[in-house]
């Protein structure tokens, strides 16, 4: 027979349901509140949960949502309420409950509902996007190896030059199945000891440190002080340098703790040739999860994505792929679709240099300022390799050295070529 968990704050109802279901041959565990229900669900792995909606600490629907969001809704759940309404029944079903019982519960109704629920096939939850999905991308395969290597040696890992979606993809890659996940960025209430106890052995996540308010910073400090006690791992991302956080008034000790072990994410702007493969894999994942209609990229669309300057980096790319799939009128996403969404008339526009405030300067000073910017751009792109800079600019190397010295640009190792 089945392992059944009964969750209700009324002792009489717990005892009655336990007696009836035990007489039917089931093994019954009871819990008086959400905290006890979490522990029983973790320890007993029930085949079915009968869950009361109205409880003193956390209501049943909130607990159901928590299990669903954490990938823990691996068993059928039947909601119970003495104040049942159509709205609450619909809400429970939408979140993941398979049925709804209104108190007082008739014996035959109870037994019939339990029998039906135990036959219910709980579909496996769709897994979140992780770096495992990008096994065909050398760039992200390398990132995954570096991420796992760093995370294996520290309880606190900072992801630099990252925020939002790509940060969560990295953190989800490290998240073990059926272990807790607590997003500190999403909480606007004080973090409590009980919340950390419930998250024990799991991941604490911060999507972007730069967006945290004062209370969330205090929550972060509170969590870090107890991270070893509860065997937690913090994965925090930041879109800004740590020095900027200090200047914004962050606790220096907190900033120092966060910056002990860090991993810099690769910049899309330096890996344009990887963009088509990554975009294709992201689109396939979205289609598989039914988040977007069935779509594919044309060759022209992939090329348009490749040459786009991703100033918003990973966040912009992931959002662009999803929006393209939702906005495209045909199954194949075209080059026109991409250029329309990105508000670009041609690939050349993306190559245009930034506007410069030179027009108010005398011609000589304006020309010198432009030349300095021009050569700085090529020195950076070619990583100081003077042979390639000379080829790019069309200058003889002797002339190039003289021009750079004239502009006051640092040649590093006296202009020696360094192959990268």
Would you state the pLDDT for residue 6?
97
The yes/no answer on whether domain 353-420 falls in CATH 1.10.10.60 is yes
Length of the chain: 420
pLDDT band at 126 (very low <50, low <70, confident <90, very high): low
| Mean of pLDDT values over 328-356 | 71
Of 121-125, 199-203, 404-408, the range with the lowest mean pLDDT is 121-125
Q: Which CATH class is domain 131-264?
A: alpha beta
Question: What is the tens place of the pLDDT at every residue in 290-304?
Answer: 889 989 999 999 999
What are 282's two structure tokens?
A: 């992201």
Question: What is the tens place of the pLDDT at every residue in 193-235?
Answer: 999 999 999 999 999 999 999 999 999 999 999 999 999 999 9
Mean of pLDDT over the chain: 85
Q: Determine contact, residues 272/306, Cβ cutoff 8 Å.
A: yes
Would you state the pLDDT for residue 71?
54
Helices 386-393 and 363-381, packing angle to 10 deg: 130
Q: Break the chain into its structural domains and give their ranges.
A: 3-118, 131-264, 268-350, 353-420
Q: Do domains 3-118 and 268-350 have the same CATH topology?
A: no
- In CATH terms, the fold of domain 3-118 is Rossmann fold (3.40.50)
Of 253-257, 359-363, 365-369, 377-381, the range with the lowest mean pLDDT is 359-363
Question: What is the tens place of the pLDDT at every residue in 223-278?
Answer: 999 999 999 999 999 988 999 999 989 999 999 999 999 999 888 878 899 999 99
| Mean of pLDDT values over 7-17 | 95
- In CATH terms, the fold of domain 268-350 is Helicase, Ruva Protein; domain 3 (1.10.8)
More confident residue, 212 or 44: 212
Strands of 156-160's sheet in order across: 181-183, 203-206, 233-238, 156-160, 262-264
Of 19-28, 360-369, 378-387, 402-411, the range with the lowest mean pLDDT is 360-369
């Amino acid at each position: 027979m089945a392992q059944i968990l009964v969750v209700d704050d009324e002792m009489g109802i717990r005892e009655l349901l336990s007696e009836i279901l035990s007489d039917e041959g089931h093994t019954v565990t009871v819990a008086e509140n959400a905290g006890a229900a979490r522990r029983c669900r973790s320890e007993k792995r029930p085949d079915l949960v009968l869950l009361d909606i109205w409880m003193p600490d956390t209501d049943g629907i909130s607990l159901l949502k928590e299990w669903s969001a954490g990938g823990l809704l691996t068993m059928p759940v039947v909601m119970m309420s003495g104040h049942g309404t159509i709205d609450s029944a619909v809400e429970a079903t939408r979140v993941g409950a398979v049925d709804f019982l209104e108190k007082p519960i008739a014996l035959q109704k109870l037994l019939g509902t339990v029998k039906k629920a135990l036959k219910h096939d709980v579909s496996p939850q769709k897994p979140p996007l992780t770096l495992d999905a990008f096994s065909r991308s050398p760039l992200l395969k390398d990132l995954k190896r570096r991420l796992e290597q760093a995370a294996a040696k520290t309880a606190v890992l900072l992801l630099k030059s990252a925020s939002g979606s790509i940060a969560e993809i990295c953190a989800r890659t490290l998240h073990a199945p059926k272990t807790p996940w607590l997003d500190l960025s999403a909480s606007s209430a004080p973090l409590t000891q009980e919340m950390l106890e419930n998250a024990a052995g799991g991941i604490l996540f911060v999507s972007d440190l730069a967006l945290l308010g004062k209370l969330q910073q205090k929550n972060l400090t509170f969590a870090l002080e107890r991270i070893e006690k509860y065997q937690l791992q913090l994965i925090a991302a930041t879109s800004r340098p740590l020095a900027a956080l200090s200047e914004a008034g962050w606790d220096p000790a907190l900033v120092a703790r966060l910056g002990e072990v860090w991993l810099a994410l690769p910049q899309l702007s330096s890996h344009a040739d990887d963009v088509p493969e990554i975009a294709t894999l992201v689109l396939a994942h979205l289609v598989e999860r039914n988040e977007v209609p069935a779509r594919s990229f044309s060759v022209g669309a992939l090329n348009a994505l490749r040459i786009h300057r991703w100033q918003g980096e990973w966040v912009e790319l992931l959002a662009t792929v999803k929006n393209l799939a939702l906005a495209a009128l045909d199954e194949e996403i075209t080059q026109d679709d991409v250029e329309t969404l990105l508000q670009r008339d041609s690939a050349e526009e993306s190559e245009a240099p930034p506007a410069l405030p030179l027009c108010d300067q005398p011609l000589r000073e304006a020309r010198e300022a432009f030349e300095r910017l021009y050569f700085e751009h090529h020195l950076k792109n070619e990583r100081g390799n003077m042979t390639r800079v000379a080829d790019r600019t069309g200058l003889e190397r002797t002339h190039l050295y003289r021009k750079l010295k004239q502009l006051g640009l640092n040649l590093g190792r006296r202009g020696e070529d360094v192959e990268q």
